[in-house]
A and B are shown apart, each in its own frame.
Chain A
Amino acid sequence: MAALTDLTLAQARDGLAAGEFTSVELTEAHIAATEAVRDLNCYILETPEAAREMAQAADDRRVRGEGGSLNGLPIAIKDLFCTTGVQATAGSHILEGFVPPYESTVTRQLWDAGAVMLGKTNLDEFAMGSSNMTSYFGPVMNPWQRAGDAAAKLVPGGSSGGSAAIVAARGALASTGTDTGGSIRQPGSFCGIVGMKPTYGRCSRWGIIAFASSLDQAGPLTRTVEDAAIMLGVMAGHDPKDSTSVNVPVPDYEAALGTGVKGLRIGVPKECRLEGTPAEIEALWQQGIEWLKAAGAEIVDISLPHTKYALPAYYIVAPAEASSNLARYDGVRYGLRVDGDSPQEMYENTRGEGFGAEVKRRVLIGTYVLSAGYYDAYYLQAQKVRTRIGQDFHEAWEKVDAILTPTTPSAAFAQGEKMDDPIAMYLNDVLTVPASMAGLPAISVPAGLSGDGLPLGLHVIGRPFDESTVFKVGHAIEEAANFTATPQLMAGGR
């Protein structure tokens, strides 16, 4: 039998159900794997003791004939989710030591289904970044290395960098992430795993530390599309505690996978052929088109004319919302406090010391674009452009059922690269941000390797609340790509 850490979430679930191993055994294997890949810095906090207790409880439930759909399966949680009695930092110094007295709805649903928590994963500070380099708790190393260059430490992407790296390195069966402009899909692509961002409103945001509230969505990172479908089925659902959570039924995502893409119309937007995109990314995209055609889908050329404006509009809207959301960190009620002679000085000292450079940059941009005299020119214009982006997709849905693009304009880059040029860093998300701005579900599926042996993902966007079609198309790509490559640095060795 394969090592327990090499199993997919679905295989582990079936193995537990068949009594081939216990959750305690499965969890111990993942705790050992976590230790083996600790140098990657995937976690801000490991919770092995809690994991052992949860695993034992899951085994006890199974003996009694009880337990939900994830009973006994060990997973990792992005440290942006509040977890009762377990530190939640958002990757920031300002929240170091903060222990939430409540549980986020998404994690509550995972624990109710029987999942086991291995720990809280590293991320870009307040989820602001595409490299995991902005975390106060240090960068995460991608378990993949360039062929013949083990010296260069690569980034796992971000902001859900720790969540992606630990799943790729076989330290967890699955993890949760959050995606504001690409923070699940881009690290999924960089680490050679599946990353799924559902429709805005599909998962409750309650208890998830807010970055940009009109964009933030939780979603899973897994090694297979099937596993992503299993995870999302548990994470999704209406929550009265989040007024933007939408009250529509959650379909059986797993059931959608096997039905094939025959007859589906797949759109290929010409505006996503970006200047300067490496030939290997173009080639992979073309390969994806051929795969879907061979599986019976119809390929349709489409136009999303406002694609190039999605990223600049995002960098107005997201910082504006962030400046408002992060106003709560004032050193008064929780988190870091740096004293001052007056409350005003205490706020300024606390936030000056507690926030890192990228967070400060975005809060300042957000404050500026919302300030008197500039609000109309920047913020209102960006929100109108956002409407235009949404209209582009709306028109596309009259012709197609899903849209195919690459996930990222490049493979993983080295730690330290792009750090002195914020815009170069922002451009990582140029292909993922349009779906975010329109609130659409999208998935990244590993589809091939770059010339220097690094994973590359293909990106499928779907209609609002039509995650089923996104999974279906993602699954067809997965089957055709047969991506079996594994990272150099993983538990148990290659």
Chain B
Amino acid sequence: MSLDKDTVRRIATLARIRVDEDALEPLAGELNNILGWVEQLNEVDTEGVPLMTSFVETEPFKRSDTVDDGGKAEQVLANAPEEAEQFFVVPKVVE
């Protein structure tokens, strides 16, 4: 599998990362190198092998379903780039 410029543009949009047009081609080259290198995983016979889910079989920890934290609007908003009336402010979505 090989990535072309258009695929890189599509992934970058999916990942919400702006990539300048002239950076797409070199990036495709870098990503192809990495993907070419990981292709060797196909050599491994994984027929019937289960997916790795955990290392140690342990009983999941259960807690009671109660509210034990909250009411901290001021702290939640403390790092906001822009806020108003206890809301986060973003550019207009609806015209």
- Please list the residues of chain A having a beta carbon within 8 angstroms of any beta carbon in chain B: 97-99, 101, 199-201, 238, 240, 243, 245-248, 306, 308-309, 312-313, 315-316, 323, 327, 330-337, 339-349, 351-353, 355, 360-361, 363-365, 367-368, 371, 374, 377-378, 380-388, 390, 422-423, 438-440, 464-465
Contacts and interface: CB of A to CB of B under 8 A. Distances in A.
Contacts of B1: 374, 377
B84 interface: no
B17 A355 contact: yes
Given A352-B18, A439-B55, A364 B90 contact: no
A333 B80 contact: yes
B31 to A, nearest CB: 6
Given A343-B90, A352-B18, A385-B41, 12 more contacts: A201-B55, A312-B37, A331-B81, A334-B80, A335-B79, A336-B81, A342-B93, A351-B17, A374-B1, A384-B50, A385-B44, A390-B52
Interface in B40-95: 40-44, 46, 49-52, 55-56, 58, 60-61, 63, 72, 75-76, 78-82, 88, 90-93
A365 to B, nearest CB: 6
Interface residues of B, number: 50
B31 A364 contact: yes
B41 A381 contact: yes
Contacts of A367: 11, 14-15
B16 A201 contact: no
Contacts of A335: 79, 81
A99 B17 contact: no
27 contacts: A101-B79, A199-B55, A308-B40, A309-B40, A312-B40, A327-B16, A332-B81, A332-B90, A333-B76, A334-B80, A336-B81, A340-B91, A344-B16, A346-B91, A351-B16, A360-B19, A363-B17, A364-B17, A365-B35, A367-B15, A381-B44, A383-B52, A385-B41, A385-B44, A387-B51, A423-B34, A464-B55
B88 A332 contact: yes
Interface of B is mostly: loop
A238 B44 CA distance: 36
Contacts of A200: 55
A44 B35 CA distance: 33
A313 to B, nearest CB: 6
Contacts of A309: 40-41, 43-44
Given A309-B41, A348-B16, A384-B49, A371 B31 contact: no
Interface string B2-14: 0100011001111
Nearest to B38: A312
Given A101-B72, A312-B40, A371 B60 contact: no
Interface string B21-41: 000000100110111011011
Q: Which 10 A-B pairs have the closest CB atoms?
A: A352-B18, A334-B79, A439-B55, A384-B46, A337-B81, A386-B52, A101-B75, A348-B18, A312-B38, A347-B16
A245 B35 CA distance: 32
A104 to B, nearest CB: 16
